[in-house]
Amino acid sequence: MSDEQSRKTAGAVQRSRFDFARRDLDYARSEDLAQLPTAGLILLVERLRGRLGDMLDLIDETTHD
């Protein structure tokens, strides 16, 4: 795979990661958190926590290259 193809593939993967994070955030914003059962709220917070960590990793990847 050429350097250009690698960058395009990496860019597509990074874009997908960003899109997943955006969807999770949009979902969390649309939920009535007061109505979620405790287990659902915990799962939502854990999902967002994981996405935040992934977004910080993505920022590191794109700013240190």
What does the alpha-carbon distance between residue 1 and residue 21 come to, in Å, rounded to a whole number? 28
- Looking at residue 1, its pLDDT comes to 59
pLDDT (average), residues 19-33: 96
pLDDT (average), residues 8-35: 93
pLDDT (average), residues 35-39: 96
For residue 6, what are the CA distances in angstroms to 12, 59, 62? Answer: 10, 18, 14
- Looking at residue 64, its pLDDT comes to 79
- Averaged confidence pLDDT in the chain: 91
The yes-or-no verdict on residue 24 having pLDDT over 80 is yes
Here the tokens at position 48 are 């967002």
The yes-or-no verdict on residue 51 having pLDDT over 70 is yes
What's the pTM value of the predicted model, to 2 decimals? 0.78
What does the alpha-carbon distance between residue 2 and residue 7 come to, in Å, rounded to a whole number? 9
Cβ-Cβ contacts under 8 Å for 58 (sequence gap 6 or more)? 14, 17, 18
So where are the chain's domains? 3-63
The residue assigned the tokens 């854990």 is 46
